Amino acid sequence: MDGSADPARGSGTGQRPVPCHVAIIMDGNRRWAEARGLPVALGHRAGAEALRRAIRAAGEAGVQWLTVFAFSSENWRRPAEEVQELTGLLRFYLNHEVKALAKEGVRLRVIGDRCRFGEELRALIERAEADTASKTRLNLNVALSYGARDEILAAARAVAEAAKRGALDPAALDEATFEGFLATAGMPDPDLIIRTSGEQRLSNFLLWQAAYAEFAFLPVLWPDFDAEQFNAALESFATRDRRYGARNP
């Protein structure tokens, strides 16, 4: 996306600028459950409820794009029981929540290596994307089996293949062309990235796209995240002076 102008906008004179695209690293489900002496699975289920609240808050705030980091490529290395719970929760969500998303005007898209999921789950993802494809109130991207380094490597391989076929002149390759090979092709870069649980790192999330993003690191664990925290992050964003590397006049 062209970084020459700030995509955040307000709904009227004197109102706060609202980020066009908010991305969230949803962190803290395990710690939330352990702090309460509960199984980790219940932490993930509570996290799913927090996601519902975040989607609602984003739509009410006028955010146009929301990207959430739900399952990283590294998460496959977690205990098999936890991976099974996560994929089962995803299956439940796709079976029971898509109609509600569509009713609220939410378009769902999945980015990441969906090939690692079973055939049934891949079919559910494709059906959910198709069933919400016409919705325009909020674009919801769910990063599943996603890793930014893998994404960039895949794009580089695709560029190399295109050059090998003669479909692309390497000397003419620029940022806009390269972005067309990323999983987020056609989407705006995130203006604001929120991470919960108090951790202050990207954890291999949207590394290319985050070049000029603002950050909000919140101490709240993800299952406790609600509209109040979301709007506080938006208020903080509204105070930022975004220069994209340029000096102020």
Question: Is 96 one of the annotated binding-site residues?
Answer: no
Residue 9 resides in a domain: no
* CATH, residue 55: 3.40.1180.10
Q: What is the pLDDT along the chain (249 residues), one digit of tens a residue?
A: 444 445 565 444 357 789 999 999 999 999 999 999 999 999 999 999 999 999 999 999 999 999 999 989 988 888 888 888 888 889 999 999 999 999 999 999 999 999 889 899 999 999 999 999 999 999 999 999 999 999 999 999 999 999 999 999 999 999 999 999 999 999 999 999 999 999 999 999 999 999 999 999 999 999 999 999 999 999 999 999 887 766 555
Residue 234's domain comprises 21-147+191-238
Asked if the structure places residue 229 within a domain, the reply is yes
pTM of the model: 0.90
According to the annotation, is 14 in a ligand binding site? Answer: no
- 202 in a known ligand binding site: yes
Contact 187, 141 (CB under 8 A): yes
- Determine, yes or no, domain membership for 201: yes
Q: Within a domain: residue 85?
A: yes
- Residue 62 included in any domain: yes
Residue 202 maps to a domain: yes
- Asked whether residue 172 is assigned to any structural domain, the reply reads no
Structural domain contains residue 180 = no
- Looking at the structure of the chain, the number of domains it has is 1
Nearest to 191 by CA among 237, 137, 235: 237
List 27, 141, 189, 191, catalytic entry: 27
